[in-house]
Amino acid sequence: MPGDMFGSSAAVSPDGSMVAVTWGLGATVLDTRTREVISQVTLPAGEGTPRPAST
């Protein structure tokens, strides 16, 4: 939507074994060696909740 800001962020664990990446309304934690998804968090989109730029 015009005027909406979007982007992603990344953070690496102190030992370098995991990386967390944000996307739209969520975040994914990956194993840096295998690229396996360790955890994923998705926020529910509801009225008044910001939506990803692609919607």
Q: How far apart are the first and last CA of the chain?
A: 8
- Neighbouring CB atoms inside 10 A of 28's CB total 15
Tokens 């060696």, located at residue: 33
Mean pLDDT of 13-26: 93
Banded model confidence at residue 5, pLDDT cuts 50, 70, 90? low
pLDDT digits (tens, 9 = 90+) for 23-50: 878 899 999 999 999 999 998 876 665 5
Mean pLDDT of 12-22: 97
